[in-house]
Chain A
Amino acid sequence: MTAPAIELSGIDKSFGSVHAVRGVSLAIEKGAITGIIGENGAGKSTLMSILYGLYRADAGEIRVDGKPVQMEGPRDAIRHGIGMVHQHFMLIDSFTVLENLILGAEGGPMLAAGLAAARAELARLSRDYGLTVDPDAKIADLSVGEQQRVEILKVLFRGARILILDEPSAVLTPQETDQLFRILATLKERGVTIVLITHKLREIMAATDRVFVMRQGQMVAERRTVDTDAEELAELMVGRKVRLHVDKAAPRRGEVRLKAEHLGLVDERGVRLLDDVGLELRSGEIVGIAGVSGNGQTELLQVLAGIRRPSNGRLVVCGRTIDAGHPGDPAEMRDLGVAHVPEDRQRQGMVAAFRASETSILGYHELPPFSQHYLLNGPAVGAHCARLMERFDVRPRVPGLRSSNFSGGNQQKLVLAREMARDPKVLLVGQPTRGVDIGAIEFIHRELVKSRDAGCAVLVVSVELDEILSLADRILVMFAGRIVGEVDGSRADERTLGLMMAGARWERGSPEPLMKRGEHRP
């Protein structure tokens, strides 16, 4: 047997008092796809950053092709043939594919020679690996899947034989993800070694040959993918049995709490962000909005929460009619009984520099008992925060701690607790479990269902299809600012939704969806 492509032994890394990686050893087989799975904060990204030279390990050894190496920085990693594709693309929108390719490897003071050499090399890579992309296309004109292909090409262009992909599917539709996996399979056939970092069990099962599971900085298991299943991996990740599916009874629908008719939104530059959106939200049901991020879901939530004023159409919330001439504002919507868990909790739902207790009254700070006789009632705020922490199991239970010092899952639980504390009539939730651990996901999903059963009208916007599928009683799919389809929650499946998310519409009488928009997508 040949030496493994990469061998890590006894890797240890601490940040201050946080022991991020504890004595991790692993061997990555040459020419295979290896998955590394773990919850947020399990140490998988830190481990890969050590391998890529971004951090230096406190202890341990790295061997590439059997030879010990020192990784002082990404340059060393690239020299040893290791390349990394980041979760967020590092491309310059206004440059062409070729210009992006040579960035950082321009090859001389004049660009012409470097560009010509790059063009030849790109042609060779496309031939060898079956990765076609137009070298003269502007990045901004490419689809997200194609942009990711450019990222992979960038890494191969620098001579990488070992490819690390960090959460590559975060911005892709299910179809684009499948496409990516096909590319990875081709690369594997041509002898490229691939490391896939993800927290999505489905992707591990679909794409990898071997999987390592990390938990709390330690490597807790190694499995051949064919020998394991999603339930076992989930249990290994969390350290206890996890229910991946939400148990819920059939919805008991009541009155209409929120109704949007022909809702439209045009921004200052005249770009239409929402187009003729109609939806109805009844008490006792969870409506899910599926879609690839950036197709109007964010704007829809903002309009429903009163943050942005609709350009046309109208919105009826608990008896109040809102339209362009009679806009609402977030404070009024709260008074009407609309609670809003924003998509981006760090930027909207909390103030990083505030104490947890201060974050726990954001939006409710002018109401009694928090505000009395024009003064904030500190003890009441602290007690309120302590109660929320108790009920939603926010850890650590320290109301005086800075909000930014809580983990993502605990921040989200605190925001959710705050919004659910007043038993809202309508609950708008954006990305309920983005960046949240599996254990907390389970808890958050259960709370949302509980609130539905108590008669709340719940709207969930999520880019995670699994989440929409397991939570929603009714699913609306958004594409390019429009609602392109509605499916009953019990009858939805990933494939249909995926096609709708890519812009296909169901034509009456046709057994297959027709591609109407986004034909340029491969």
Chain B
Amino acid sequence: MSGSGEPRSQQHEKKGRRVTLSRRPLPAWADIVLLPLVNVALAFLTVGIIVRIIGVDPFHALELLVAGAIGSPESIGYTLYYATNFIFTGLAVAVAFHGGLFNIGGEGQAYLGGLGCGLAILALDRYLPIWLMIPVGIIAAALFGAAWAAVPAWLQAWRGSHIVITTIMFNFVASALMVYLMVNVLIAPGSMTPQSRGFEPSAFLPQMGGNALNLSLLLALACCVAVWVFLWHTPWGYALRTMGHNPEAAVYAGTNLRHMTMLAMCISGGLAGFVGVNELMGVHHRIVLDFPAGYGFAGIAVALMGRNHPFGIALAALLFGALQQGGAELVFEIPKITRETVVLIQGLVILFSGALVQLPRPWLQALFSFRRS
């Protein structure tokens, strides 16, 4: 019954409150639109300084980056193709996050989603017509992704193993499993590279435009809508958000936290699994190694930047897709900028719009209260 803890902590808390209470909260539009834009601007400012130190004109580099991302129909196609992956993994992180779960296993779930989709296709592509093969592939991707997320979810719900730790470890397990399967089991007969036989055309997702962009983009947009409806307009989404905000209240309301943890993680894993659809059914047309290529991890930043809302996630995914595509062009055009520099740029955007997302808030608040008075 007695209080414990460090006696000065409350005083600090009160002092902290004094500071925040004296400032007015930002208007909603500034919170949703202006703050992320300021974050991105800060990131680019930092990037500019670094690029200048390397000895490259930052404005020239920016010009190339933008042109590379949206300068031609082809580059726009690539930007959207990358954005598709980021939407899937961003939504995956967001759904788990609304349930109070931090799913860091998007990478492994995407990998396994691809395996599921590929296995279904390798088994059935000679028998099924395209209008049946594509839905079966998509469903298989979701099921395998969900199953890969279900194991850590079960371990957390029934055994109390922390989901952050288990999902991270499952990424490594997924990676090792895929290497084993590709090298020993699924490798095409007579092939020297660890990849499966090519899919039959009945398993090719129709292209949109001439390059990598395919119908997965529409699937991603449909997922945005579906996630929005699920989270805010169904009783299960309501219960899931209750669990995320206040688990005790969820128990009080009659929600079974174990079942809800399973549901949240399975939906999350299924969404991540769709990366396999975009990559394998849309582009590679065979099972290959390493196709998740960091999309799972970047999904965390996408969700953070998009404020865990499907609309915000779509916008953030677009930005990340543009960076990916524009960055590749930059490397091609300026020899002084290497692949690692592009990774650095992405890292800074993630840093400023993820970890440091609240950094400019006090400045904006001061600006707004100054304007009002």
- Interface residues of chain A, those whose CB is within 8 Å of chain B, are 15-16, 49, 54-56, 73-74, 86, 88-93, 103-104, 139-140, 142, 144, 147, 171, 293-294, 305, 307, 329-332, 334, 340, 342, 347-354, 358, 361-363, 365-366, 370-371, 374-376, 378
Q: How far is the CB of A217 from chain B (nearest CB, A)?
A: 15
State whether B1 touches A354 (Cβ < 8 A).
no
Provide 26 A-B residue pairs closer than 8 Å at the C-beta atoms, listed in order of the A residue.
A15-B21, A49-B14, A54-B14, A56-B18, A73-B11, A74-B11, A90-B7, A90-B10, A104-B8, A307-B251, A330-B251, A330-B254, A334-B254, A347-B246, A347-B249, A348-B246, A348-B252, A349-B249, A351-B241, A351-B242, A351-B245, A363-B254, A375-B229, A376-B233, A376-B237, A376-B238
Q: How far is the CB of A235 from chain B (nearest CB, A)?
A: 31
Q: When the two chains form the complex, which single residue of B1, B229, B239, B245 contacts A352, counting CB atoms closer than 8 Å?
A: B245
Does residue B3 face the partner (Cβ distance < 8 Å to A)?
yes
Q: State the CA gap A139–B4 with chains docked (Å).
A: 10
Which B residues are in CB contact (< 8 Å) with A15?
21-22
Does residue B162 face the partner (Cβ distance < 8 Å to A)?
no
Which A residues are in CB contact (< 8 Å) with B235?
365-366, 370-371, 374, 376
Q: State the CA gap A375–B238 with chains docked (Å).
A: 10
**Known pairs A90-B7, A90-B10. 10 more at Cβ < 8 A?**
A74-B11, A90-B5, A91-B2, A104-B8, A331-B253, A332-B254, A347-B248, A348-B246, A351-B242, A375-B233
Q: State the CA gap A142–B252 with chains docked (Å).
A: 33
Q: When the two chains form the complex, which single residue of B1, B23, B254, B256 contacts A144, counting CB atoms closer than 8 Å?
A: B1
Which A residues are in CB contact (< 8 Å) with B24?
16
Q: Which of B1-43 contact A (CB under 8 A)?
A: 1-8, 10-11, 14-15, 18, 21-24
Which A residues are in CB contact (< 8 Å) with B193?
none
Q: How far is the CB of B89 from chain A (nearest CB, A)?
A: 25
State whether B239 touches A365 (Cβ < 8 A).
yes
Whether A354 contacts B245 in the complex (CB less than 8 A), given A330-B254, A365-B238, comes out as: yes
User: How many CB-defined contacts (below 8 Å) exist between A and B?
Assistant: 115
State whether B234 touches A55 (Cβ < 8 A).
no
Q: State the CA gap A404–B305 with chains docked (Å).
A: 25
Which A residues are in CB contact (< 8 Å) with B10?
86, 90
Q: How far is the CB of B100 from chain A (nearest CB, A)?
A: 12
Q: State the CA gap A352–B1 with chains docked (Å).
A: 25
Q: State the CA gap A239–B49 with chains docked (Å).
A: 63
Most buried by A among B2, B6, B238: B2
Whether A88 contacts B246 in the complex (CB less than 8 A), given A340-B252, A358-B238, A376-B234, comes out as: no
Q: How far is the CB of B20 from chain A (nearest CB, A)?
A: 10
Interface string of B237-272 (1 = CB under 8 A from A): 111011001101101111110000000000000000
State whether A104 touches B7 (Cβ < 8 A).
yes
Which A residues are in CB contact (< 8 Å) with B22?
15-16
Interface residues of B, count at CB 8 A = 37
6 closest cross-chain pairs (CB), A and B: A331-B254, A90-B7, A89-B3, A363-B253, A330-B254, A15-B21
- Interface residues of chain B, those whose CB is within 8 Å of chain A, are 1-8, 10-11, 14-15, 18, 21-24, 229, 232-235, 237-239, 241-242, 245-246, 248-249, 251-256
Q: When the two chains form the complex, which single residue of B7, B21, B234, B242 contacts A362, counting CB atoms closer than 8 Å?
A: B242
Which A residues are in CB contact (< 8 Å) with B249?
347-351, 362
Q: How far is the CB of A267 from chain B (nearest CB, A)?
A: 16
Q: State the CA gap A56–B1 with chains docked (Å).
A: 32
Q: State the CA gap A147–B24 with chains docked (Å).
A: 40
State whether A349 touches B18 (Cβ < 8 A).
no
Q: State the CA gap A197–B4 with chains docked (Å).
A: 22
Q: State the CA gap A510–B367 with chains docked (Å).
A: 74
Which B residues are in CB contact (< 8 Å) with A49?
14
Q: How far is the CB of A444 from chain B (nearest CB, A)?
A: 19
Q: How far is the CB of A60 from chain B (nearest CB, A)?
A: 16
Q: State the CA gap A370–B253 with chains docked (Å).
A: 14
Which A residues are in CB contact (< 8 Å) with B229?
375
Q: How far is the CB of A156 from chain B (nearest CB, A)?
A: 16
State whether B1 touches A293 (Cβ < 8 A).
yes
State whether B7 touches A103 (Cβ < 8 A).
yes
Q: State the CA gap A331–B239 with chains docked (Å).
A: 12
State whether B254 touches A329 (Cβ < 8 A).
yes
Most buried by B among A54, A73, A331: A54
Which A residues are in CB contact (< 8 Å) with B242?
351, 354, 362
Which B residues are in CB contact (< 8 Å) with A371?
234-235
